[in-house]
């Protein structure tokens, strides 16, 4: 079985059904190339090749998350070929992921976030106000950076201050935003179907993160930040304000509640830091 024969077919499936970003799509295809490169596998020996490949991955000096991603990518591809009746007799029991401890995402307290936005306003970079507006949206709504940048003017409902978001897997959800923020959006030029544009071109994730990096390099902010931290901080702030975790799950667009539950650990760790720093008996026991 030549992988190249079905590469385009699978690529179209990932784009149309999974709604993957260009970067994620490239990572998937690179992982698959590592397995299928210069191999002419067939159904009689494909399981042996899978077993050998996974064993080799586990012996390499790779992060657990990288190994699991490669295993998952290969499994999903073969499932696709199996569903399309292109191959058969695949032993999916071989695709056992390595156990790993989920990293607790970084988060920033509400007071710190307010200070960060004040510091970002001092930036002299071109289009700084627009970048800040994007980061505010992420913090106020919990959107992914890709979701925020893909928003169109037609996605806004001013009647109930809501935004329709199209997330992973083409899933649609509805999030609400404060009216003051929507008023700020109205001041932007509407010369494109997308809300956040520069020279009539949609802003990229890379340019937003580059803005944050430049602010750090220019000592406007104390720590290196990425756009993801603003989403994490939204979730943590909601939890600290006793919001129901299933409501937060819907706002974040998580398909599994277990993903959202990671933020409960973040909230607890933040409370512990505050206690360790400000407890009246600190350094006296």
Class of residue 97 by CB neighbours under 10 A (exposed 0-12, middle 13-18, buried 19+): middle
pLDDT digits (tens, 9 = 90+) for 162-184: 999 887 666 788 888 999 999 99
| Helix, coil or strand: residue 27 | helix
**Which has the closest alpha carbon to 269: 249, 239, 225, 224?**
239
Q: pTM higher than 0.75, yes or no?
A: no
* Mean pLDDT, residues 115-141 taken together: 95
Greatest pairwise CA separation for the chain in angstroms: 70
What is the per-residue pLDDT for 265? 58
Cα–Cα dist 280/285, whole Å? 10
**CATH of range 110-231; options 2.60.120.10, 1.20.810.10, 1.10.443.10, 3.40.50.300:** 1.10.443.10
CATH class of 4-94: mainly alpha
More confident residue, 107 or 85: 85
**Rg for the chain (alpha carbons), in Å?**
23
Q: State the catalytic residues.
A: 144, 168, 228, 231, 254, 263
More confident residue, 157 or 276: 157
State the alpha helices, DSSP H only, in the chain.
4-17, 22-36, 46-59, 64-83, 110-120, 128-141, 145-149, 179-186, 205-217, 227-240, 245-252, 257-278
Name residues whose C-beta falls within 8 Å of residue 42's C-beta, 6 or more positions apart in sequence.
1
Read off the tokens for 235. Answer: 């979730």
Is the pLDDT confidence value at 55 over 90? no
Cα–Cα dist 264/62, whole Å? 29
* Mean pLDDT, residues 3-26 taken together: 78
Locate the domains of the chain by residue range. Answer: 4-94, 110-231
């Amino acid at each position: 079985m030549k992988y190249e024969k079905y590469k385009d077919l699978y690529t179209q499936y990932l784009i149309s059904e999974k709604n993957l970003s260009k970067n994620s799509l490239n990572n998937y295809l690179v992982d698959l190339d590592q397995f299928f490169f210069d191999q002419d596998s067939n159904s009689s020996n494909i399981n042996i090749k899978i077993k050998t490949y996974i064993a080799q991955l586990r012996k390499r000096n790779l992060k657990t998350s990288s190994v699991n991603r490669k295993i998952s990518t290969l499994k999903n591809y073969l499932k696709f070929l199996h569903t399309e009746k292109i191959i058969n007799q695949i032993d999916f029991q071989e695709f056992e992921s390595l156990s790993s401890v989920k990293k607790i995402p970084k988060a920033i307290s509400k007071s710190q976030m307010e200070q960060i936005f004040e510091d970002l306003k001092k930036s002299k970079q071109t289009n700084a106000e627009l970048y800040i507006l994007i980061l505010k949206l992420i913090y106020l709504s919990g959107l992914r950076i890709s979701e925020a940048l893909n928003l169109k003017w037609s996605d806004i409902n001013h009647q109930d201050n809501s935004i329709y978001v199209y997330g992973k897997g083409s899933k649609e959800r509805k999030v609400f935003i404060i009216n003051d923020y929507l008023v700020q959006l109205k001041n932007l030029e509407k010369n494109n179907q997308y809300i956040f544009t520069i020279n009539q071109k949609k802003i990229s994730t890379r340019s937003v993160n580059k803005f944050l990096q430049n602010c750090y390099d220019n000592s406007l902010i104390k720590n290196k930040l990425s756009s993801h931290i603003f989403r994490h901080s939204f979730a943590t702030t909601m939890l600290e304000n006793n919001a129901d975790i299933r409501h937060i799950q819907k706002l974040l667009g998580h398909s599994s509640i277990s993903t959202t539950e990671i933020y409960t650990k973040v909230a607890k760790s933040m409370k512990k830091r505050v206690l360790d720093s400000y407890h009246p008996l600190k350094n006296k026991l």
